[in-house]
Chain A
């Protein structure tokens, strides 16, 4: 093996960068995608609490909004820096992709930048404005955060959707992009459903994740107004979003059936083109092209693909494209397993939401049984797993393409043979970052608990001198 001198001290082994670049991109995205839902939907939940607090003069609701915004300060910072890493990685790991396609792929990011600016500006005003801004003025400074979060996520997904359905450009004979139609880039075929699926996922995950904390607290006996409110606001957001998500997901699957047949074949584990394709639960593809294991439900995959033609619907198999344009057997199995996980967990969350709404309809109250609260405590993790699984389906299912049918991942990667080093460093850094974030959030929660209910921390409360702040007491400001 040839070595490249690392400042002349440590020899760096030259290793094929492609698998390491894929691993690093996958790992850093998998990390960042957990923070996205919190960035997008937590501000919305905080505003619900804030609104209730102001409208009904509910001190608990205000305290909730205020504490949520403090947690958000941490998760938003971690989300911002891990998002920045991704902007570095586009170039550091995929310079040839960016060099060739940046002028088209980059277009949605131009708008994402604006939304991210807006989000960062207003989240700062909202977080830091509790003490000195007028209550309703302060409430309204939170609204742009919610809107910018939705639009920002939409822009990023638009770029990802473009990789699945590239459009809006003209190539010359040397395969260079010579003309770009930005509207067609942004509003590519895959964009509306993929963006909707991600934004709704943000509300599913954010809602269930935040609710799970309060469900756990209620299980342990903290069933006061404050915890109940925290649970109801967050869980309701998740429980409204999940049925919508099932509808959006169903439409998106049909879009994939029509537009990315190979990805669809991987999802449904279909080696050869046929009709009357069963929906195989679990199971796996063998390297010789047969499927074993699992529970087949006869005809269901065909029926779901197009209910109009029912089980006669033909589903295209993996073998309709040359082997080097299919995902590998291992990738197919990952896609299929993740699909089962996403759909399975999504269905469970839907049933839990159904339980919740039925209780509200028939008993005018939330379900309080230990079983329900136990399941609700687990729903946070479940939602995150479903999110990750869905993202794997989308990304691994596109393999071997980075730009669908136009550029392969292996042709997009950097030539830097030291990527394995940055992969290891990034992994260690992010493990530390993730652990610290969780510890910090827990620490904040236990501190809030010890503080208990004291009037000092009621937002918009005593308007006099601000406590414990350098010099500020000397200049009382009225807004």
Chain B
């Protein structure tokens, strides 16, 4: 039973990386889009692309927390006890990001738009970075179990956490650029298609390079996870590399349909690979999934909630994305 809930947890993390990650990545491209005039068109595409979906995508994070603290309370307590600094920073970033994105749409003065836009864009980079340093801290065994706090600083300022942070930022930028190519096409804007296609290629290469360096850092810093990655999770790692490479090739050849799915495949398989690699630890190597798990009654409830989720929320998401893709959700209100 605890295995099933751990799988649910990791699938939620994957969904957040794939859907929420792309929203953060869009913020990254907003940040580097240049001055108010030069960046106007890319920012328009970004607004259109994430406007209707970012709030729903954001809920994945809340869902992850809920499953974690309900299903594995000791793990949640240990993570928050040690990693309060990056988590607090992420929380600040989330407040700034969501509110400034909502605010930016309501103001028309260039100065106001620029300020809110900057707050949105900078926090879009800080949040995935901080959350990924948390993942790096967990993977490298810097979060002790049993009600003790690990080091509040070196737990997340260390080679593996920094690498994870940088990797997260490049990966979400890559994902977002690939989605934005698609959305630019949907909006019939060939100039933006090639604008984001160039950036998608750049980000894909960057993510590949960072991931490659990551292999060595992982080997030095997180031996248990590294061993898992090179053994039972190896097929997933290879799948991720193949998807990434294939999507890069298709991007270069300006293919229409392939890149998006392959990019999702590349990111999803590496996130799931992480979970498989650190199995059966929740916190390698001090707390196993089974030891961290809540009593059966709680786990059954989480499973029931997951089934309800599949019945209620998944169709909702399908509806939202379908309407969005058909351009039936063009903007708030009518004016």
Are A and B associated in one complex?
A: yes
Identify the A interface with B (CB < 8 A). Answer: 4-5, 7, 66-67, 69-70, 73-74, 76-78, 80-85, 87-92, 95-96, 98-104, 106-107, 109-114, 116-118, 120-125, 127-133, 144, 169, 177-182, 414-416, 418, 422, 425-426, 429, 433, 436-437, 440, 443-444, 451, 456-459, 461, 466, 469-472, 474-475, 477, 479
Q: Which interface residue of A128, A180, A443, A479 has the most chain B CB atoms within 10 A?
A: A128
B48, B77, B147, B294: residue with the most chain A Cβ atoms closer than 10 Å: B77
Whether A117 contacts B95 by the Cβ 8 Å rule is: no
When the two chains form their complex, are residues A443 and B106 in contact, meaning their CB atoms are under 8 A apart?
yes
Find out whether the CB atom of B70 lies under 8 angstroms from the CB atom of A107: yes
| Stretch binding the partner chain, chosen from B206-214, B274-282, B302-310 | B302-310
25 A-B Cβ contacts within 8 A?
A69-B332, A70-B332, A74-B106, A77-B101, A95-B76, A98-B76, A99-B74, A103-B295, A113-B66, A118-B312, A120-B55, A121-B317, A127-B333, A128-B329, A130-B332, A133-B328, A177-B294, A182-B298, A414-B84, A416-B149, A457-B334, A459-B333, A472-B187, A472-B330, A477-B328
Q: In the bound complex, what is the Cα–Cα distance between A120 and B294 (angstroms)? A: 28
Q: How far is the CA of A418 from the CA of B320 in the complex (A)?
A: 42
Closest B residue by C-beta to A168 = B297
Q: 4 closest pairs, A vs B, by CB?
A: A102-B73, A106-B70, A91-B80, A99-B77
Q: Do the beta carbons of B70 and A129 come within 8 Å of each other?
A: no
Picked from A91, A118, A123, A182, the residue with its CB within 8 Å of the CB of B297 is A182
CB < 8 Å neighbour of A180 from B94, B98, B298? B298
Of A91, A103, A474, which one neighbours B79 at CB under 8 angstroms? Answer: A91
Q: Assess A80 versus B55: contact at CB under 8 Å? Given A73-B102, A106-B66, A106-B70.
A: yes
CB-contact partner of A84 in B48, B94, B295, B302, under 8 A? B94
Q: Does chain A have a CB within 8 A of B215?
A: no
Q: Do the beta carbons of B328 and A470 come within 8 Å of each other?
A: no
Among candidates B56, B84, B105, B332, residue contacting A117 with C-beta atoms closer than 8 Å: B56
Please classify the interface of chain A as helix (H, G, I), strand (E, B), loop, or mixed, using the class held by over half of its residues: helix
The complex places the Cα of A425 from the Cα of B319 at a distance, in Å, of: 39
Q: Least Cβ distance of A435 to chain B in Å? A: 12
Query: Least Cβ distance of A396 to chain B in Å?
Result: 25
Contact A95 B187 (CB under 8 A): no
Q: Does B11 contact A (CB under 8 A)?
A: no
B interface list, Cβ under 8 A from A = 41, 44-45, 48, 51-53, 55-56, 58-59, 61-63, 65-67, 69-71, 73-74, 76-81, 84, 87-88, 90-92, 94-99, 101-103, 105-107, 147, 149, 152-153, 157, 187-189, 294-298, 300-302, 305, 308-309, 312-313, 316-317, 319-320, 323-324, 326-335
Q: Which chain A residue lies CB-closest to B45?
A: A470
Q: Beyond A98-B77, A182-B298, is A113–B323 a contact (Cβ under 8 Å)? A: no
A102 touches B69 (CB 8 A): yes
Most B CB contacts (10 A, CB to CB) among A89, A123, A129, A144 go to A129
Instruction: Given A85-B95, A92-B88, decide whether A98 and B44 contact each other with a Cβ distance below 8 A.
Output: no
Q: Are A7 and B153 in contact (CB under 8 A)?
A: yes
Contact A125 B320 (CB under 8 A): yes
Tell me the minimal C-beta distance from A144 to chain B in angstroms: 8
Interface of B, secondary structure class, is: helix
Q: Is the CB of A7 within 8 A of B95?
A: no
Known contacts A179-B295, A179-B297, A458-B334; is A100 also within 8 Å of B323 by CB?
A: no
Given contacts A99-B74, A458-B334, contact A110 B295 (CB under 8 A): no
- Closest CB of chain B to A371's CB: distance in Å? 35
A3 to nearest B CB, angstroms?
13
- A477's partner among B41, B66, B79, B327 (CB-CB below 8 A) is B327
Bound form: Cα–Cα A73–B329 in Å: 14
Q: How far is the CB of A406 from chain B (nearest CB, A)?
A: 15
| A131, A133, A177 interface centre (most CB from chain B within 10 Å) | A131
Residues of B within 8 A of A133 (CB): 323, 328
- A92-B87, A113-B63, A125-B319 as given contacts; A131 in contact with B331, CB under 8 Å: yes
Cα–Cα, bound, A98→B294 (Å): 12
Q: How far is the CA of A145 from the CA of B147 in the complex (A)?
A: 39
